[in-house]
Structure 1
Amino acid sequence: MAALALGSWAQASTAAVAALPPARYGQPLALAPGVFALPGGLEGAEPDNQGAVGNLGLIDTLAGPVLVETGGSYRLARWAISEARRLTGRRPVLAVITQARPEFLMGGAAFEEAGIPVLAHADTAELMALRCHECLRRLRADLGEAAMRGTRLVLPGRRIEAGLSLELGGRRIELLHLNGHTSGDLVVLAADRGVAFAGALVPAGRIPEIDPGREATPWRAALRRLGRQEGLRTLVPGYGAPGPAAGLVDAVEAYLAALESQVQALLDAGVDLLEAQRRVELPAWRGWARYEAFHKRNVQRQYLAAELRWLGGVPDPGAPR
């Protein structure tokens, strides 16, 4: 009887998955020979998009393709691995996670199953262990158990403490450690093609989301360093359409500069946090995705960081060292 019940549950579970919309990203965008973006949505994870939020990347090498991000679920990662094989004729040899964002890292189980190593900065792995079990719980609540079937948190097996230059199959791939959006930010640069994948460090047409305990100043500094990167021409943002690197970087830096300036002015004037959240409106960016979801929270996090610095709790991140 128990076996019959288990079989019925398995059939029902399989049927529930089969009834879902396809778990996949958009049509691959060829950016340069052997370099592709796999585009995802600008908004949050929801049943209609099956968690395919943000952009994945693919850099082909003679050794096999490297994927940028593992995707938002086990099902999405399975699709990405299959798509990499379709585009290149080869099995992926590595995946790189740029930041501890759930839409970029929840596909780890599929990569582990396929024997494909996953690399991230050590700080990203630490953040994943600290908070991504809760991210997974929320995704299951938002998307449903069927959509997240097979998804579990798998920490990256390869971890780096600084930037790294990879030589794979005749191609040089630079992993730039920029410490902006999070302390473990990596930008993945196909050096010979002038194409970089920036993850959440550079969203396009989407409000940047300041991480808890972070602020605009180091993020802006990271953007300036990225903008000076020699040979960089095309940028794949974490969200939104790829384009010329300078324009995408400048747009994000402008939002963060305006946020930082207005928050600091209100703090200097003695305005409290709740009033600052009410007053700091940036209409030039209101048309960007996630403005309502992220902007007031960004004001809060920027205010608290600036206030702590004013109280003497932390050094000025913009001060020379």
Structure 2
Amino acid sequence: MCEHVSAVRQTISLSNKSATHSDQFHPLGPTHGRRDALGLFQFGAGRRGAVTQVFRRLGVFVLLSLAWVGLLWPASSWALTCRDAPALAWQSVVPGVAAVHGHWPSVTPAGRAHVATTVVLGQGQHVTVVDPGPTERVGRALQQDLACRKLSHKLSSKGAPSAAPRVVGLINTHAHAEQVLANGAFGLAAAATSGTRDAMRKRCPDCLAALRQDLGATALRGTRIVVPTQVLVDGQSLQAGGRAWRVREMRHAHSESDLVLWSEDGGIVLAGGLVDGPQLPVLAQGSVQGWLQALAELRAWQPQWLVGQQLVSGPGQVQAALQRQQQYLCGLVQYAWQGLDRGWSEAEAVQDLPPPQAWAADVTPTQARTPGADQTPKQSTDLWTTPSAKRTHPDLNEAWQNQQRQQHVFNQLRAWREVELSWMDQTTRPSPWPGLCASTPDVGR
């Protein structure tokens, strides 16, 4: 059964500032009340002051030494831990916003690889994590890497050791296993829309079982379902990572409910699963029409920065990324409409389905070093990290391409059934597709 965690405040408020309090030590302070004890170490009345000062200074030295060891011990412990820690694929977006891209190949020929992007908000002692990943171990690896990066920065700048960043906020953008099943690694109440919460209650048990088949029992060890208990609503404002964010909910788009975080001041949009990088979009629980409407709304905001799945787009690139996503979805619509006009059946339509041009030349996603995956260390470390990855691992690259072809067929069938309703009603009801796919060839005009 899905686990429930206790509800927390309705507004996430983070601070990148931490206060350091130091007790003042006065080595030459008054000694009233200690004369009898000091008398045990006196060698004569004339040496009383000198001996007292010696022991006072010795006490100060010991206390300061212990304090310094206390500061260095966590750093040295983390240094030993960090030596063999997994190095995650971080990508800086703007100060206080960073993305971590993960790719987890299947351990069986019949399984599916999984990709996801985690976003970390904040650069001080407190951070918020958006979409923590697919497994308990991935979530713990993220926390460890955050601590190691903090330590590395302090040591390289010769600064004083400080505490590791603490994750104080956890947000799920939508109910897909790759995004949410690491919730349990953080010991926090996750936040999401009510639609995502309800979908997780319904689908996560099956998703967990499927993910265990794909990635292996070792990688999924300790992974449990933690359903969000803090509900975020459309239009709500929240503070995370030193920025103000507006919550937007896109219904029936990529999934039943897709949460988008929009920072108007920074021009930054965290799009969750609505925009994809090298991998094809996944049209499962959502709809083509709802997804296209969501993309149109994102374009209207005119963001300067966009973070999607395996994707970070900066100034001058965002509109192209949104248009690419739109063209793929509109291509599904166009192909279905033309097939229906020609009298094709579903089976005939996908029998010789051509690959989408925008994704045909793309390489596989970059893989993060994944703790606990059922693979050899070399594969876990080096896979997909260099341009020669396709030549080094042709079998896994071929598996990824086959998976993408299957995904395209699946998406086309889902789009076909949605478009078919409009095609059958075109004489009595205006088609919605021309307005959503204005830049594509005629669709139901």
What is the TM-score normalised by the length of structure 2?
0.59
Which residue identity is paired with 2:413?
Answer: Q
- Per mean C-alpha deviation after superposition, the further-off stretch among 254-263 and 51-60 is 51-60
Within the candidate set 290, 305, 309, 1:234 is matched to: 305
The partner residue of 1:40 within 102, 106, 111 is 102
Question: Shift of the alpha carbon at 1:226?
Answer: 0.6
Letter in 2 for 1:287: A
- Give the conservation status (yes or no) of the 8 Å contact 2:170–2:191: yes
Report if aligned partners of 2:133, 2:181 keep a CA contact under 8 Å in 1: yes
Deviation sequence 1:24-43 (CA, Å, 0-9, x none): 573322211111111112xx
| Whole-angstrom distance in 1 between the partners of 2:338 and 2:123 | 50
Aligned in 2, Cα 1:133/1:151: closer, same or farther, shift over 3 Å?
A: same
| Alpha-carbon distance in structure 2 between the residues aligned to 1:177 and 1:143 | 30
Matched, 1:318 2:432: yes
Give, as a single letter, the amino acid of the residue that structure 2 aligns with 1:286.
A
5 Å-filtered alignment, 1:57-206, equals 57-60=119-122, 64-86=126-148, 89-112=164-187, 116-168=188-240, 170-179=242-251, 180-206=253-279
Shift of 1:106: 0.7
Equivalent position to 2:290, from 218, 228, 248: 218
Change (3 A) 1:282 1:53: closer
- Partners of 2:122 and 2:242 within 8 A in 1: no
Q: Distance in 1 between matches of 2:86 and 2:422?
A: 44
Native 8 Å contact 1:174 1:188 kept in 2: yes
Aligned letter for 1:66?
T
Larger Rg computed on CA atoms: 2
Name the CA distance, whole Å, in 2 between partners of 1:316 and 1:108. 44
Summarize the Cα distance change of 1:108–1:40 in structure 2 as closer, same or farther, 3 Å threshold.
same
SS of the equivalent of 2:227 reads: coil
Work out whether residues 259 and 280 of structure 1, in 8 Å CA contact, stay in contact via their aligned partners in 2. Answer: no
Q: Which of 267, 289, 293 is matched with 2:406 structurally?
A: 293
Q: Is 1:31 equivalent to 2:106 in the alignment?
A: no
Equivalent pair of 2:100/2:117 in contact (CA under 8 Å): yes
SS in 2 for 1:281: coil
1:105-141 Cα offsets, whole Å, 9 max, x none, are: 11111123xxx23111111111112112111111212
State the 1:317 CA deviation. Answer: 8.5
| AA aligned opposite 1:139 | L
Does 1 or 2 have the higher relative contact order (CA < 8 Å, sep 6+)?
Answer: 2
Specify which of 393, 415, 420 is matched with residue 302 of structure 1.
Answer: 415
Equivalent of 2:354 in 252, 257, 281:
281
Q: CA deviation at 1:155?
A: 0.6
1: CA distance, partners of 2:432 / 2:242: 39
2:386 aligns to what?
A: none
Offset from partner CA, 1:177-230 (integer Å, 9 cap, x none): 123212310122344433322222100122111114x43222111111111115
CA distance in 2, matches of 1:317, 1:61: 48
Unaligned 5+ segments in structure 1 are 1-21
Q: CA deviation at 1:52?
A: 6.9
Is the partner of 1:204 in helix, strand or coil? coil
8 Å contact from structure 1 (residues 57, 68) kept in 2: yes
1:32-81, Cα deviation, whole Å (9 max, x unpaired): 1111111112xx64249x97721111111768211110211000011223
Offset at residue 239 of structure 1 (A)? 2.5
Q: Which residue of 1 aligns with 2:382?
A: none
TM-score between the two structures when normalised by the length of structure 1: 0.80
Compared CA separation, residues 240 and 81, structure 1 to 2 (3 A): same
The code of the aligned residue for 1:226 comes to: L
Distance in 2 separating the partners of 1:140 and 1:210: 22
Contact 1:218 1:317 in 2 (8 A): no
Which deviates more, 65-74 or 155-164? 155-164
Distance 1:124 1:277, change over 3 A: same
How many residues in Structure 1 have an aligned counterpart in Structure 2? 289
Q: What does residue 30 of structure 2 align with? A: none
C-alpha contact (below 8 Å) 2:263/2:269 kept by paired residues: yes
Identify the range of structure 1 (176-185 vs 32-41) with the bigger mean alpha-carbon deviation.
176-185
Conserved 8 A contact 2:355-2:405: no
The sequence identity of aligned pairs, in percent, is 27
Q: 2:423 and 2:263 mapped to 1: Cα distance?
A: 41
